[in-house]
Amino acid sequence: MDARLKRGQKTKRKITETAIALFHERGFNNVTVDEIVTKTNTSKGAFYNHFASKHEVFAEQFKQIDQFYVDHLVPQLDAKKPVMDRLAQFLDLQMTYIQNEIGWDVTRTIYEQELSTERSSYFLNPDRPLYGILLDLCQEGIDNGEFKPGYTAHDIVTVLIHAMRGVLYNWSLNRGKISLKDEQRVLFGVVLEGLFRSEL
Amino acid sequence: MDARLKRGQKTKRKITETAIALFHERGFNNVTVDEIVTKTNTSKGAFYNHFASKHEVFAEQFKQIDQFYVDHLVPQLDAKKPVMDRLAQFLDLQMTYIQNEIGWDVTRTIYEQELSTERSSYFLNPDRPLYGILLDLCQEGIDNGEFKPGYTAHDIVTVLIHAMRGVLYNWSLNRGKISLKDEQRVLFGVVLEGLFRSEL
DNA sequence: ATAATAAAGAGACCGTAGTCTGTAACTAAT
DNA sequence: ATTAGTTACAGACTACGGTCTCTTTATTAT
C-alpha cells in the first residue's frame, strides 16, 4: 500500500496547485473543473476522487490559514501585555494577513461554500485552531478580571466570531473595495470597548 | 399596453407564489426551476422573462422584509424613550421577525446569493430602507449626546450592520439550530455597551 | 385595414458541477 | 502462483441553471 498511494498524493498535489493558481489568476467562478483536469492531464474521476467538490479545493488553504495563525501570529503576541491589547493586536494581524495574503475572492468563496454545502463545514468544526486561540486568550482575561463581569469565555468568543464573520462577509461582498483593516478597527473598537472594564 | 402586461403580472405572481411555497416546503436547493414551471404550466421562457435568476424570486421577499420593518416595527418604537432603548428594541423585534417569519433557509439563500452573484446586490444598495431607519435613529442619538463621542452616524450604522450580518450569517450556517434571539442579545448587548455613554 | 413593433411565452439547447460505470495497476491472502 | 480485493483514475453520462431562437398575441402608427 505505497506506490498507489504515492501516485495519488502526487496527482492531488498537482491538481491543488494548478487549481489554486488558476483561481488566483481569474477568480473561482471563471475556472471550470474541466479546465483544471485538462491542464493537469488528469480526469473528472481523479478530481472527484480527491475532492468532494470544486469548493473543497480550498479546504487546503483553510487549514493553511489557521496554521498561519498558530505559527506566526500567536507567537508575536507579548504575553506581558494585557489581554485587551493582545486581542486587539491579534485581530489586527489576522485581518492584515487575510487582506494581503488570502484576498477577497478566496474569502468570498469560502464564505459562500460554507453556506451552500450540506456537508460538515470548517466554520462549524469546534476543533478549529482559531477557536482555541481565542478561548485561551479570553479565559486568561476573565481570570485576571480584565473583562466586565457576567460573561463566560465562550460568550466572548462567540461575540468575537460573530463580529469577524460580519466584517469578513461585508468585505467579501464589497469585493475588496473597502479596507478590511479599517472596517475591522471600527467594529472591534466598539466590541472591545463593550467587553473590557474601562478603568485607566 | 394593458392586456399583455396584465397577463404577464398574473404569470409572475403565479410563479412567485408557487416557488416561494415550494422553497418553504422543501428548501431552496431541493426545488428546480423545471419543477416550478411545470407546476405552474409555464415555461423556462416565462420564468426567465420575469426573473434574472432562480435566486431572484427572493427579491420579492426581500422588499417585503424591509417594508415590514418600516410598516410594523418602526411604529412600535416609543419616541419618548432614549435611542439606546429604541435601538435595542428594534433589533429584538427584527430578529424575532426573521426567526419566525422568514426562517433560516430563506435567510441562508439570500446571504449566499448576495455573495455569489455579480449583479447589483440588495445588501449593497444604499437606498435600502433599513439603512435609513438606522441612520435616522443614530443621528438622533448623536444629536442628543447619547453616544460616546467620536463616532459619526455612518460609523455606527456600519458597526450595527456588520454585527447583524455576523449574527445572521452564523444563524443560517447553523441551520437554525441556535437561537437567533439569544445570539443577537449577547452580541448587541456588547456592541451597544461599547457605543453608548454609560452614565446612570 | 395593414404594416411595424414589441411583449410574453414555449421549448430546444448549452455549460458546467457532479455521478456512475468500467478498467488497469497494484496489494494481500491462501 | 492464483485469486480476491482495493485504489487511482478515465471518461461517458446526468441534472440543472441559464440562454437563445422562434411563435403568438397584443399595441401603435399610418
Q: Give per-residue pLDDT as tens, B34-45.
A: 999 999 999 999
In this complex, the answer to whether residue B8 has its CB under 7 A from any atom of chain C, a nucleic strand, is yes
* A7 CB inside 7 Å of strand D: yes
- pLDDT of residue B7 exceeding 50, the answer is yes
Q: Is the C-beta atom of B64 closer than 7 angstroms to strand C?
A: no
Domains in chain A: boundaries: 1-51, 54-195
Note the pLDDT of residue B63. 82
Q: pLDDT value at position A194?
A: 86
Q: Would you mind telling me the total number of residues written for chain B in this entry?
A: 200
CA of B3 to C1' of C8 (A): 11
Average of per-residue pLDDT across A161-171: 97
Contact of B122 with chain A, judged by CB distance below 8 Å, is answered with: no
Residue A122 has pLDDT above 90, yes or no: no
Q: Give the confidence band of B4 by pLDDT, cuts at 50, 70, 90.
A: confident
Nearest nt (C1') to A45 (CA)? Answer: D9
Grid cell of B132 as nine digits: 435609513
Say yes or no: A123 contacts chain B, CB-CB below 8 A: yes
Rg over alpha carbons for chain B, rounded to the nearest Å, is 20
Tell me the CA distances in angstroms from B118 to A175, B55, B169, one per residue in order. Answer: 10, 12, 20
pLDDT at A121: 74
Provide the mean pLDDT of chain B: 92
Tell me the three cell numbers of residue B112.
449566499
The chain B residue lying nearest A196, using CA atoms, is B194
Q: Which range (A10-14, B143-147, B193-197) has the least confidence?
A: B193-197
Q: What confidence tier does B2 reach under pLDDT thresholds 50, 70, 90? A: confident
**Cell 449626546, residue located:** B145
Please state, rounded to an integer, the average pLDDT across all residues of chain A: 92
* A2 CB neighbours strand D below 7 A: no
Nearest nucleotide, CA B5 to C1': C7
Q: Could B115 and A114 be called an inter-chain contact, meaning their C-beta atoms sit closer than 8 Å?
A: no
Which residues between 59 and 78 in chain B have a beta carbon less than 8 angstroms from any beta carbon of chain A? none
Q: What secondary structure does DSSP assign to B114-170, as a single string?
A: HHH--SPPSTT-TT-HHHHHHHHHHHHHHHTT-BPTT--HHHHHHHHHHHHHHHHHH
Topology (CATH level 3) of domain A54-195: Tetracycline Repressor; domain 2 (1.10.357)
C1' nearest to CA of A52: which nucleotide? C18
Chain B, 157 to 186: residues with Cβ < 8 Å from chain A are: 158-159, 161-167, 169-170, 172-174, 183, 186
A171 to chain B, closest Cα gap in Å: 10
Residue A113 to residue A55: CA distance in whole angstroms = 6
Provide mean pLDDT across the span B49-77. 91
What average pLDDT does the segment B80-99 reach?
A: 95
- Give the mean pLDDT of A141-146: 93
Question: In this predicted structure, what is the pLDDT of residue B121?
Answer: 74
Which residue does chain B place closest to A107, by CA atoms? B115
Protein-proximal nucleotides of chain C (any atom < 7 Å from a CB)? 7-13, 15-22, 25-28
pLDDT at B199: 53
Chain B CB contacts of A181 under 8 Å are none
Does the structure show a pLDDT above 70 at B110?
yes
The pLDDT of residue A200 is 47
| Residue A131, CB, strand C, below 7 Å | no
For residue B1, is pLDDT > 70?
no
- Compare A198 and B37 and report the one with higher pLDDT: B37
pLDDT digits (tens, 9 = 90+) for B158-175: 999 999 999 999 999 999
pLDDT tops 80 at residue A143? yes
Residue of B nearest to A29 (CA): B116
Q: What's the pLDDT score for residue A1?
A: 60
Chain B 20-59, CB below 8 Å of chain A: which residues? 29
> What are the chain A neighbours of B116 within 8 Å (beta carbons)?
29, 112
- CA distances to A6, A56, B166 from B137, rounded to whole Å, are 62, 43, 21
Task: Answer whether residue A199 shows pLDDT above 60.
Answer: no
Residue of B nearest to A112 (CA): B112
Look-up of cell digits 439550530:
B177
Q: How many CB pairs under 8 A join A and B?
A: 101
As a whole number of angstroms, the distance between CA B79 and CA B44 comes to 49
**Which has more confidence, B117 or B30?**
B30
CATH number of A1-51: 1.10.10.60
B48: CB within 7 A of chain C nucleic strand: yes
Instruction: Evaluate if residue A120 carries a pLDDT over 80.
Output: no
pTM exceeds 0.85: yes
Interval B142-159: pLDDT, tens: 999 999 899 999 999 999
What's the pLDDT tens digit per position in A41-73? 999 999 999 999 999 998 778 888 999 999 999
Residue B200: the pLDDT is: 47
